[in-house]
């Protein structure tokens, strides 16, 4: 008599809890980001812009006595003061509303969008991973990159300011801990907001190209147009006060100041610093919620 072994019972994929999913996804995403050239290109681009607009152009203008487009009308004494270590927190912040925010938004969009283009999310979700945990882990890894970018940026700015002070035989006065903490907090809020907005756009669009295009057009074109039209139409002006670019620019403007002559692009004084910080924080929460809800309700089970 021949006996037949019973067929193996299929086992369901191990899903794990939310915290387990967040931890695994964060570790995996950090590994991917560390090995991804786009991350290092984004970081290098931002540091290069910070070097050029924060110190290189100013120092060349100071050394030659010729003003550039970045500091037209500024005296040599004012140029030198801007490059001193005590002013490093302001230099650290001044390029973020226009350039830094746009770069991290692009990164956030491609982090989420390439997950669909490469089939990563489809594979992960099909294997039974906790979907909220996977998305939150990816957002956590993106946040770690934002923090690392801020640390590298401030270290570069402070190092360059010390170099200028030493070269020009100036007294070295370090920035206060309060000013560094204030700059770090404002910079984190702004960069995190744009990074998470980019991630949400990449999740909604299921791809990097459309989400990057929409994000850049909105941040660099649409908001500026709306602020211009708002000077003629009151209801549009009221609308612009709650837009992410206005909130982020006003948050930085409340710290570095807006003098109307040598104000960096994107730095505003439309709303108070407190209102701007609250608005930016709301956008961060909304971007996280949108990313998680869209994935849970729309993507494969």
Q: How many CB atoms lie within 10 A of CB 166?
A: 11
What was the pLDDT predicted at 2? 46
State the average pLDDT over residues 3-13: 45
**Confidence label for 215 from pLDDT (cuts 50, 70 and 90):** confident
Question: By percentage, how much of the chain surpasses pLDDT 70?
Answer: 87
Residue 63 lies in a domain: yes
Contact 24, 140 (CB under 8 A): no
Residue 8 lies in a domain: no
Say if residue 15's pLDDT is above 50. no
**C-alpha 245 chain-centroid distance:** 12
State the average pLDDT over residues 192-209: 90
What was the pLDDT predicted at 115? 76
Task: State how far the Cα of 141 lies from the Cα of 31, in Å rounded to an integer.
Answer: 9
CA distances from 56 to 82, 252, 282 (A): 12, 22, 36
What was the pLDDT predicted at 240? 81
The tokens for 14 are 């191990």
Task: State how far the Cα of 10 lies from the Cα of 1, in Å rounded to an integer.
Answer: 27
Closest listed residue to residue 81, CA positions, set 167, 161, 22: 161
The tokens for 174 are 């370090």
Contact 243, 223 (CB under 8 A): yes
Residue 86 lies in a domain: yes
Residue 294 lies in a domain: yes
Residue 44 lies in a domain: yes
Q: How many CB atoms lie within 10 A of CB 4?
A: 5
1 or 265: which carries more pLDDT confidence? Answer: 265
Say if residue 8's pLDDT is above 60. no
Summarize pLDDT for 231-255 with one digit per residue, the tens: 677 777 788 888 999 999 999 999 9
75 or 4: which carries more pLDDT confidence? Answer: 75
**Confidence label for 32 from pLDDT (cuts 50, 70 and 90):** confident
State the residue range of the domain holding 109. 18-298
Residue 6 lies in a domain: no
Structural domains in the chain (count): 1
Task: State how far the Cα of 154 lies from the Cα of 191, in Å rounded to an integer.
Answer: 14
What was the pLDDT predicted at 67? 62
Say if residue 70's pLDDT is above 60. no
Residue 111 lies in a domain: yes
Summarize pLDDT for 132-162 with one digit per residue, the tens: 777 888 899 999 999 999 999 999 999 999 9
Task: State how far the Cα of 252 lies from the Cα of 267, in Å rounded to an integer.
Answer: 6
What was the pLDDT predicted at 17? 66
What was the pLDDT predicted at 13? 44
Q: Which of 114-128, 211-225, 282-296 has the lowest mean pLDDT?
A: 114-128
Residue 1 lies in a domain: no
130 or 213: which carries more pLDDT confidence? Answer: 213
| Beta-carbon contacts of residue 188 (< 8 Å; ≥ 6 apart) | 146, 147, 150
The helix or strand, by DSSP H or E, that contains position 85, with its residue range, turns out to be: none
Crossing angle (nearest 10°) for helices 101-117 and 177-205: 30
* Cα 294–Cα 295–Cα 298 angle in degrees, nearest 5: 75
Say if residue 7's pLDDT is above 60. no
The reply to whether the predicted model has a pTM over 0.95 is: no
Task: State how far the Cα of 192 lies from the Cα of 101, in Å rounded to an integer.
Answer: 8
Indicate the average pLDDT of the chain: 84
| Beta-carbon contacts of residue 278 (< 8 Å; ≥ 6 apart) | none
The helix or strand, by DSSP H or E, that contains position 198, with its residue range, turns out to be: helix 177-205
What was the pLDDT predicted at 212? 86
264 or 289: which carries more pLDDT confidence? Answer: 289
């Amino acid at each position: 008599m021949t006996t037949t072994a019973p067929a193996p019972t299929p086992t369901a994929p191990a899903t794990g809890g939310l915290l387990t999913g967040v931890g695994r996804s964060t570790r995996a995403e950090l590994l991917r980001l560390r090995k991804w050239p786009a991350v290092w290109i984004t970081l290098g681009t931002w540091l290069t812009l910070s070097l050029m607009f924060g110190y290189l152009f100013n120092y060349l203008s100071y050394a030659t006595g010729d003003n550039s487009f970045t500091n037209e009308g500024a005296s040599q004494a004012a140029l030198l003061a801007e490059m001193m270590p005590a002013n490093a927190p302001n230099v650290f912040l001044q390029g973020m509303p226009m350039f830094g925010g746009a770069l991290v938004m692009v990164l956030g969009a491609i982090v989420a969008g390439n997950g669909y283009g490469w089939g990563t999310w489809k594979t992960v979700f099909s294997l039974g991973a906790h979907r909220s945990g996977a998305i939150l882990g990816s957002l956590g890894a993106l946040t770690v990159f934002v923090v690392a970018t801020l640390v590298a940026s401030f270290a570069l700015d402070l190092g360059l300011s010390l170099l200028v002070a030493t070269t020009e035989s100036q007294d070295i006065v370090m920035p206060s801990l309060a000013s560094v903490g204030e700059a770090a907090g404002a910079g984190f809020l702004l960069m995190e907001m744009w990074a998470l907005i980019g991630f949400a756009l990449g999740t909604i669009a299921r791809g990097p190209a459309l989400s990057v295009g929409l994000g850049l057009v909105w941040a660099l074109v649409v908001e500026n147009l709306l602020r211009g039209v708002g000077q003629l139409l009151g209801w549009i002006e009221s609308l612009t006060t709650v837009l992410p670019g206005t909130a982020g620019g006003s948050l930085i403007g409340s710290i570095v100041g807006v003098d109307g002559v040598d104000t960096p692009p994107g730095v505003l004084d439309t709303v108070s610093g407190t209102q701007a910080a609250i608005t930016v924080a709301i956008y961060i929460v909304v971007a996280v919620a949108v990313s998680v809800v869209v994935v849970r309700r729309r993507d494969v089970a």
